[in-house]
Amino acid sequence: MNKKWVAVWTTAPSFGEQREHNYAHDITLRYFIKTAIAGEQIRLTFSNHCSKNDVTLDKIVVAPCANDVVDVSKAVALTFGGKAECNIAPGGETVSDAVDFKLAAGERFAVSIYLGGYVDMTTACASNGPSHKYAYATGDCTDLAELPATCCDGMGYCYFLSDVDLLAHEKCRNILAFGDSITAQSWPEHLLEKVIEKGNSDISVTRRAVSGSRVLRQYDCMRFARYGLKGADRFVREIKTAGVDTVMILQGVNDIIHPEYNDQTGFRPISDLPTVEELCEGLRFYADTAHKAGLKVYMGTIMPIMGWRTYEDFREPIRQGVNEWIRTADCFDGVVDFDLEMKDSQNQLMFKAEYDSGDHLHPSWEGAKKMAEMVYDKLIGEN
């Protein structure tokens, strides 16, 4: 039976919260992850994409788990060229040696990483959803079934780990969700859960999403660095993910809402506001790049923004114009019309109340579940 590598979990390496002192030492990071496909070997990729310092991860262990309790009897220590340490150069990445590690479809596992020395924690990515959890604890806890409650806490960022690949059946494939904070939130993991629920054991769901990321521009300053690298630079690198045959894109809202007339910092000038044509060309670049890589590409329409704290009437024609272009463009394999489904019937410039998180920009938990259903129906149910 032929096998191939397929990613079951990914992040988009970017900047974490920038502080004057952004280092940690003598701690264990533990990431709880769920896979939608089965595999017999595992390999991990660690990134130091945004740091100017060398990073050393002293010990890395993978193990199956249930209810956040690791099965230490089945734990496997990873190696890198036969060595336990993972050394990552500034701006680089390091891939582990492949090791035997069997997982069933729908199974959870944990990745535990011990940082012994002082480590630059710049490279990170924030995400959330029902299928994963991040935590840390003091000391080397890589061999413990549970992190000690007295010196353990949860966290919103994943540091260094960028890819988890399984050696899976050749029929398995990966759907990659690409975007900004809306995709860094829960809808891709609701899609993962739906894939598992429906018994689609040959489909993996991963994401590359950075909160605040724009298609056309980025912030090269400490204050806004956490908003991430611009999509036009990210996309080429991030679609090179194991097993991907389809990419689902939802991005562009931050290009519209970030630039301000009254920005006091100088980092969000109104001159950054794109025209409809400029933003559409950025999205067309995604489609062309994906197709050249042999991938199918689906685009989502930009959801309502009225009520968001930077909303102004002049932003709406850009959103509407981009959405109309998305719906009629010939460069996508399909369109998921989030805007049509999520907008309120009485005020079509706003979210339906049940789909609004409360900030009038990000969907609620129910809204994210609805988005996942729409993507499932379009990308899987119709095929």
Which pLDDT value is given to residue 234? 93
Question: pLDDT category, 18, cuts 50, 70, 90?
Answer: low
Q: What is the pLDDT of residue 310?
A: 93
Look at residue 36 and tell me whether its pLDDT is greater than 80.
yes
Looking at residue 382, its pLDDT comes to: 61
Which pLDDT score, from 0 to 100, does residue 102 have? 97
54 and 191 both lie in a single domain:
no
> Is residue 67 over pLDDT 90?
no
Residue closest to 183 by CA, chosen among 299, 26, 41, 57: 299
pLDDT band at 360 (very low <50, low <70, confident <90, very high): very high
Calpha distance 375→208 (Å, rounded): 16
Residues 16 and 90 in one domain: yes
Q: How many CB atoms lie within 10 A of CB 26?
A: 14
Q: What is the CATH number of the domain that holds 154?
A: 2.60.120
pLDDT-derived band at 19, boundaries 50, 70, 90: low
Does residue 140 sit in the same domain as residue 176?
no
For position 151, what pLDDT does the model report? 74
Q: Which of 118, 138, 165 is the last residue of a domain?
A: 165
Is residue 288 located within the same domain as residue 334?
yes
Mean pLDDT of 354-379: 98
Number of helical H runs and strand E runs in the chain: 8, 24
Query: Could you list the residue range(s) of the whole structural domain that residue 208 is in?
Result: 172-381
SS3 annotation, 137-197? EECCCCCCCCCCHHHEEECCEEECEEEEEEEEECCCEEEEEEECHHHHCCHHHHHHHHHHH
How many domains are contained in the chain?
Answer: 2
Pick from 124, 143, 165: which residue ends a domain? 165
DSSP string, 9-78: EE---EE----S--EE-SEEEEEEEE-SS-EEEEEEEEE-TT-SS-EEE-EEEEEEEETTEE-GGG-EE-
Distance between CA atoms of residues 56 and 334, nearest Å: 43
What CA–CA distances, in Å, run from 199 to 37, 41, 71, 308?
Answer: 10, 22, 25, 38
Are 369 and 236 members of one domain? yes
- What per-residue confidence (pLDDT) applies to 20? 56
Higher pLDDT, 89 or 222: 89
**Residues 95-143: pLDDT tens digits?**
999 999 999 999 999 999 999 999 999 999 999 999 999 999 999 999 9
Find the mean pLDDT for residues 23-27. Answer: 92
Same domain, 337 and 199: yes
* Residue 142: per-residue pLDDT: 97
Average pLDDT over residues 312-335: 98
- pLDDT for 187 equals 98
pTM for this structure? 0.95
> What is the reported pLDDT for 222?
66
pLDDT interval class at 146 (50, 70, 90): very high
> Domain end: 165, 182, 216, which one?
165
Using one digit for the tens of pLDDT, what is the confidence trace for 147-167?
998 777 788 899 999 999 999
Same domain, 156 and 204: no
CATH number of the domain enclosing 309: 3.40.50.1110
pLDDT in tens, 244-275: 999 999 999 999 999 988 776 777 889 999 99
Residue 300 has pLDDT above 70, yes or no: yes
Q: What share of the chain is helix, strand, coil (3-state, %, to 5)?
A: 25, 35, 40
How confident is residue 21, by pLDDT bands cut at 50, 70 and 90? low
Does the pLDDT of residue 322 top 90, yes or no?
yes
211 shares its domain with 296: yes
111 and 250 both lie in a single domain = no
What gap in Å lies between CA 157 and CA 262, rounded to an integer?
Answer: 31
* Residue 59 scores a pLDDT above 80: yes
Residue 131 confidence (pLDDT):
93
> What pLDDT shows up at residue 154?
84
Same structural domain for residues 203 and 115? Answer: no
Dihedral sign, Cα of residue 94, residue 100, residue 106, residue 109: negative
Task: State the chain's mean pLDDT as an integer.
Answer: 94
Would you state the pLDDT for residue 150?
74
Distance CA 226, CA 218 (A): 10
Same domain, 149 and 279: no
Residue 230 pLDDT > 90: no
Q: Tokens representing 227?
A: 């908003």
**99 lies in the same domain as 190:** no
